[in-house]
Amino acid sequence: MLKGVNLKNPHLNKMPSDFLYHLNINVPNTADTSVIQKQFGDIVAVCAGGTSKRMRELAIYLRPILGIKDNSEPVDLCESGQRYAVYKVGPVLCVSHGVGSSTFSVVLHELLKLVKYAKCQDPVFIRIGTCGGVGVEPGTVVITKDAYNGYLKNEHEIPILGKRVVRPASFPDTLCQEILKYGAKSDDGFNTIIANTMSTDCFYEGQGRTDGAVCEYSDNEKMAFLKECQKKGICNIEMEATMFASLTQKVGVRAADVCVTLINRLNGDQVSITMHEKETFEQRPFSIVGRYIQHLLLN
């Protein structure tokens, strides 16, 4: 049975109005959200990715998949907010989130409130991203099961009111399996796997790179760390999964992280693929998620 989104914040019930500041969306009357419902109430999937360019491309990519005949330029609904781009294509939102958990968490809080006010039924949130691979061929698509932080713990850690708050950070297994089953095809020409992901706040030292502005460990120490990752079933490294898993898990919203690897970190640190190769790789999660959304809409 479909269900609405129940957030875990009793204060929201006492707010007569709400302003989704970074989206620049006003909810003037939280007791009557009919205008928001009309605009966003049909949403079944919210796709998020790092850049506005990629999310615009995703919106265009999804049109034929969703049976939408439209050649016009996609409209960024939140351009006036000047932070995040939001495109709506049929019942799917394509939203940019920037680099890292801190920028993603800002828009994620606001998107979760948006789908609550819009009374969306059981929307699924999917991050479509890039990542570094650990022991897998570049171009492999990884669907995250358990998200590990930079301490190699399967949890998300965040300071709240001056205290260390630790929350679980896993994605629902059934959704991972469904995305693999309905999204991946044996003749895709690349592998799609379900695996664990390490998510860090730092692209360089946090991911064990030796090519940042600062590095105080040896190549051997770095390789030992990457091997430690592999022992935990970690096949990719990115910068949002623990926050994304923990926040969506907390509010009971189904979510998935589907990322393509740009590099095998066991072979080096520099992301040196050409922009053309990167764009080709970035299409891969589009096709996996596109097919999954097609399945979602048929059922």
Q: Does 99 bind ligand R2B (CB under 6 A)?
A: yes
| Least Cβ distance, residue 189 to ligand URA (angstroms) | 21
| Least Cβ distance, residue 39 to ligand URA (angstroms) | 33
Q: Contacting ligand R2B (CB under 6 A), which of 134, 143, 239, 263?
A: 239
Q: Does 207 bind ligand URA (CB under 6 A)?
A: yes
Q: Does 262 bind ligand URA (CB under 6 A)?
A: yes
Residue nearest to ligand URA (CB): 132
In this structure, which amino acid lies at residue 266?
L
Q: Does 238 bind ligand R2B (CB under 6 A)?
A: yes
> Which CB sits closer to ligand R2B, 68 or 99?
99
**Binding range to ligand R2B, per CB under 6 A, among 126-134, 144-152, 220-228, 290-298:** 126-134
Contacts 24+ apart (CB under 8 A), 59-65: 59/87, 59/88, 59/89, 59/92, 59/94, 61/283, 61/286, 61/290, 62/89, 62/90, 62/92, 62/94, 62/290, 62/293, 63/89, 63/90, 65/290, 65/291, 65/293, 65/294
Q: Contacting ligand URA (CB under 6 A), which of 182, 190, 203, 225?
A: 203
Q: Does 130 bind ligand URA (CB under 6 A)?
A: yes
State the Cα–Cα distance between residues 266 and 170, nearest whole angstrom: 25
Strand-strand pairing, 234-238 and 192-199: parallel
| Least Cβ distance, residue 269 to ligand URA (angstroms) | 8
Residue 129: CB atoms within 10 A of its CB come to 25
